[in-house]
Amino acid sequence: MVPRGEVGLIFAELGRTGGVLNNEIYAALVFVIALTTLAPPFVLKWLYREK
């Protein structure tokens, strides 16, 4: 996992344990963090497949 995703997960966990985020928002954040961490390599490969 790239550092950006790890930092996002750390801040999301701090927000959850600090009472700023409830479990539903935390789950959505984890999903978005995972998606934005894992998807870009595949999207870039698809965009540059002809070059």
pLDDT digit string (tens) for 1-51? Answer: 567 788 989 999 999 999 999 999 999 999 999 998 889 889 999 999 976
Residues 15 and 26: beta-carbon distance below 8 Å: yes
Return the amino acid letter for 39: A
Q: How far is CA 7 from CA 3, 10, 13, 31, 50, in A?
A: 6, 5, 10, 14, 33
Distance CA 28, CA 7 (A): 16
Return the pLDDT at 2. 60
Distance CA 25, CA 51 (A): 40
Return the pLDDT at 51. 67
| pTM exceeds 0.85 | no
